Amino acid sequence: MLHARQLVASNRYLALATVDAEGRPWCSPVYFAADDELECFYWMSATTSRHSRNIVANPEVSLAVFDSTVEPYHGRGVYSTGLAEVVAGDELQGALTVYPGDPSRGGSPITAEEVSDPSPWRLYRARAAAIWVLCPRPPRQPCPRHGRDDDHRARVR
Protein backbone atom coordinates (compact mmCIF):
# COMPACT_ATOMS: atom_id res chain seq x y z
CA MET A 1 0.00 0.00 0.00
CA LEU A 2 2.93 2.33 0.65
CA HIS A 3 3.95 2.15 -3.01
CA ALA A 4 0.40 3.09 -4.07
CA ARG A 5 0.27 6.01 -1.61
CA GLN A 6 3.61 7.33 -2.88
CA LEU A 7 2.45 7.21 -6.50
CA VAL A 8 -0.82 8.95 -5.69
CA ALA A 9 0.91 11.62 -3.60
CA SER A 10 3.48 12.38 -6.30
CA ASN A 11 1.02 12.79 -9.20
CA ARG A 12 -1.58 15.44 -9.88
CA TYR A 13 -3.74 13.85 -12.55
CA LEU A 14 -5.63 10.63 -12.95
CA ALA A 15 -7.18 9.14 -16.05
CA LEU A 16 -10.87 8.66 -15.32
CA ALA A 17 -12.72 6.08 -17.43
CA THR A 18 -16.51 6.28 -17.65
CA VAL A 19 -19.18 4.71 -19.84
CA ASP A 20 -22.30 6.37 -21.21
CA ALA A 21 -25.81 4.91 -21.20
CA GLU A 22 -25.18 3.24 -24.58
CA GLY A 23 -21.97 1.59 -23.36
CA ARG A 24 -19.54 3.92 -25.15
CA PRO A 25 -16.33 4.41 -23.12
CA TRP A 26 -14.77 7.79 -22.40
CA CYS A 27 -11.50 8.62 -20.66
CA SER A 28 -10.66 12.03 -19.19
CA PRO A 29 -7.61 13.34 -17.36
CA VAL A 30 -8.66 15.18 -14.19
CA TYR A 31 -6.71 16.94 -11.46
CA PHE A 32 -7.41 14.97 -8.28
CA ALA A 33 -6.72 14.51 -4.59
CA ALA A 34 -7.16 11.32 -2.58
CA ASP A 35 -7.62 10.61 1.10
CA ASP A 36 -4.73 9.05 3.02
CA GLU A 37 -6.14 5.52 2.86
CA LEU A 38 -6.92 5.76 -0.87
CA GLU A 39 -10.55 4.97 -0.15
CA CYS A 40 -11.77 8.00 -2.10
CA PHE A 41 -10.45 9.97 -5.06
CA TYR A 42 -11.87 13.51 -5.56
CA TRP A 43 -12.00 15.85 -8.55
CA MET A 44 -13.95 18.94 -9.59
CA SER A 45 -15.77 19.01 -12.93
CA ALA A 46 -18.55 20.79 -14.71
CA THR A 47 -21.87 18.95 -14.65
CA THR A 48 -21.99 19.35 -18.43
CA SER A 49 -18.69 17.56 -19.09
CA ARG A 50 -18.98 14.22 -20.84
CA HIS A 51 -17.54 12.21 -17.95
CA SER A 52 -19.91 13.93 -15.49
CA ARG A 53 -22.91 13.11 -17.66
CA ASN A 54 -21.65 9.53 -17.99
CA ILE A 55 -21.47 9.17 -14.19
CA VAL A 56 -25.15 10.15 -13.97
CA ALA A 57 -25.98 7.40 -16.49
CA ASN A 58 -23.59 4.81 -15.03
CA PRO A 59 -21.65 5.46 -11.79
CA GLU A 60 -19.17 2.61 -12.37
CA VAL A 61 -15.72 4.02 -13.11
CA SER A 62 -12.12 2.98 -13.33
CA LEU A 63 -9.08 5.17 -12.92
CA ALA A 64 -5.35 5.10 -13.36
CA VAL A 65 -2.71 7.26 -11.70
CA PHE A 66 0.66 6.91 -13.36
CA ASP A 67 4.02 8.59 -13.51
CA SER A 68 4.55 9.71 -17.11
CA THR A 69 8.04 11.03 -16.35
CA VAL A 70 9.78 7.66 -15.93
CA GLU A 71 11.87 6.02 -18.63
CA PRO A 72 10.06 3.74 -21.10
CA TYR A 73 9.39 0.26 -19.67
CA HIS A 74 9.78 1.51 -16.10
CA GLY A 75 6.07 2.20 -15.64
CA ARG A 76 4.61 2.90 -12.24
CA GLY A 77 0.84 2.99 -11.80
CA VAL A 78 -2.11 2.72 -9.45
CA TYR A 79 -5.38 1.36 -10.80
CA SER A 80 -8.80 1.37 -9.20
CA THR A 81 -12.42 0.52 -9.86
CA GLY A 82 -15.35 1.88 -7.96
CA LEU A 83 -18.48 3.99 -7.96
CA ALA A 84 -18.48 7.74 -8.59
CA GLU A 85 -20.90 10.32 -7.32
CA VAL A 86 -21.36 14.01 -6.66
CA VAL A 87 -20.32 14.98 -3.14
CA ALA A 88 -23.03 17.11 -1.56
CA GLY A 89 -24.83 17.90 1.67
CA ASP A 90 -23.19 17.06 4.97
CA GLU A 91 -20.30 15.22 3.26
CA LEU A 92 -19.14 18.21 1.23
CA GLN A 93 -17.24 20.01 4.01
CA GLY A 94 -15.33 16.85 4.89
CA ALA A 95 -14.44 16.28 1.23
CA LEU A 96 -13.14 19.83 0.98
CA THR A 97 -10.57 18.99 3.64
CA VAL A 98 -9.11 16.46 1.16
CA TYR A 99 -9.58 18.30 -2.16
CA PRO A 100 -7.58 19.98 -3.67
CA GLY A 101 -4.81 18.40 -1.61
CA ASP A 102 -1.60 19.82 -0.21
CA PRO A 103 -0.87 23.34 -1.53
CA SER A 104 2.47 22.12 -2.89
CA ARG A 105 0.50 20.18 -5.55
CA GLY A 106 -0.70 23.48 -7.06
CA GLY A 107 -4.46 23.05 -6.72
CA SER A 108 -6.64 26.02 -5.81
CA PRO A 109 -8.77 25.82 -2.68
CA ILE A 110 -12.49 25.84 -3.37
CA THR A 111 -15.56 26.58 -1.30
CA ALA A 112 -18.80 24.65 -0.95
CA GLU A 113 -20.59 27.46 -2.81
CA GLU A 114 -18.33 26.94 -5.84
CA VAL A 115 -19.46 23.32 -6.19
CA SER A 116 -23.15 23.68 -5.26
CA ASP A 117 -26.26 25.04 -7.03
CA PRO A 118 -26.45 27.33 -8.92
CA SER A 119 -22.81 26.80 -9.90
CA PRO A 120 -22.26 24.47 -12.87
CA TRP A 121 -19.33 22.83 -11.02
CA ARG A 122 -19.45 19.88 -8.63
CA LEU A 123 -17.00 17.97 -6.49
CA TYR A 124 -17.01 14.30 -7.47
CA ARG A 125 -15.79 11.27 -5.56
CA ALA A 126 -14.90 7.78 -6.68
CA ARG A 127 -15.12 5.33 -3.80
CA ALA A 128 -12.47 2.72 -4.53
CA ALA A 129 -13.81 -0.82 -4.50
CA ALA A 130 -10.41 -2.28 -5.35
CA ILE A 131 -6.89 -0.94 -5.91
CA TRP A 132 -3.93 -2.47 -7.72
CA VAL A 133 -0.38 -1.33 -8.39
CA LEU A 134 1.77 -2.17 -11.35
CA CYS A 135 4.53 -4.17 -9.73
CA PRO A 136 7.76 -2.18 -9.94
CA ARG A 137 10.57 -4.08 -11.62
CA PRO A 138 13.41 -3.47 -14.07
CA PRO A 139 12.42 -4.00 -17.72
CA ARG A 140 12.20 -7.65 -18.75
CA GLN A 141 13.39 -8.79 -15.33
CA PRO A 142 11.40 -10.91 -12.88
CA CYS A 143 9.46 -9.10 -10.21
CA PRO A 144 11.24 -9.81 -6.92
CA ARG A 145 7.93 -10.38 -5.14
CA HIS A 146 6.07 -12.49 -7.71
CA GLY A 147 8.82 -13.93 -9.91
CA ARG A 148 6.98 -12.81 -13.05
CA ASP A 149 8.74 -10.99 -15.88
CA ASP A 150 5.62 -9.56 -17.52
CA ASP A 151 3.75 -6.40 -16.62
CA HIS A 152 1.38 -7.40 -13.85
CA ARG A 153 -0.65 -5.82 -11.12
CA ALA A 154 -0.85 -6.69 -7.46
CA ARG A 155 -4.04 -6.00 -5.57
CA VAL A 156 -3.43 -3.81 -2.53
CA ARG A 157 -7.04 -3.52 -1.45
Q: What is the CATH number of the domain that holds 45?
A: 2.30.110.10
Q: What is the pLDDT of residue 98?
A: 97
Number of domains forming the structure of the chain: 1
Quote the pLDDT of residue 95: 98
What pLDDT is attached to residue 135?
84
Distances (CA, A) of 134 to 5, 28, 66, 89, 105: 13, 20, 9, 36, 23
pLDDT at 138: 77
pLDDT confidence of residue 148: 85
Per-residue pLDDT band for 73 (boundaries 50, 70, 90) equals confident
Structural domain for 62, as ranges = 2-155
Whether pLDDT at 136 is above 80: no
Give the CA distances from residue 101 to residues 109, 111, 148, in Å, rounded to whole numbers and listed in that order: 8, 14, 35
CB–CB of 58/28 below 8 Å?
Answer: no
What percentage of residues in the chain have a pLDDT greater than 70?
Answer: 100
| pLDDT of 40 strictly over 90 | yes
pTM for the model stands at 0.92
For the segment 55-65, the average pLDDT, to the nearest whole number, is 97
- The DSSP H or E segment spanning 121 is strand 121-134
Do residues 134 and 76 lie in contact, with contact meaning Cβ atoms separated by under 8 Å?
yes
